[in-house]
Structure 1
């Protein structure tokens, strides 16, 4: 499992951080339009089976979801926004 939120919209990140921590899921932050290289590297090495995006498309663009699916092609991605 892996969780994502915007690095620029802290209420969403704060809302899910405690859940991710309690389940020992990595929780990563991203800019609005593309993944940082360090995040891509982590996803590539971790290859999670499930990824949760915790922001709508107005906060994290669809390009983020596309990059995640390309980086972890077998992952099931769910967006909560």
Structure 2
């Protein structure tokens, strides 16, 4: 799969930065909806994910009316 194809099928925010995006995609998370099945702590354990990327991802979930499995809200 080319880089262009992966960005067409993923709704993970591009603003999280390449390392965090690669970490999510590498772990099999291509859609925000998939993150509703895991906690923030689990996502934060992925190499490349940091607090800023987690916050951006959390906000993107909330925009879609979704949350991480632990139901986190913006702090």
TM-score when normalising by structure 2: 0.31
Structure that is richer in helix per residue: 2
TM-score when normalising by structure 1: 0.30
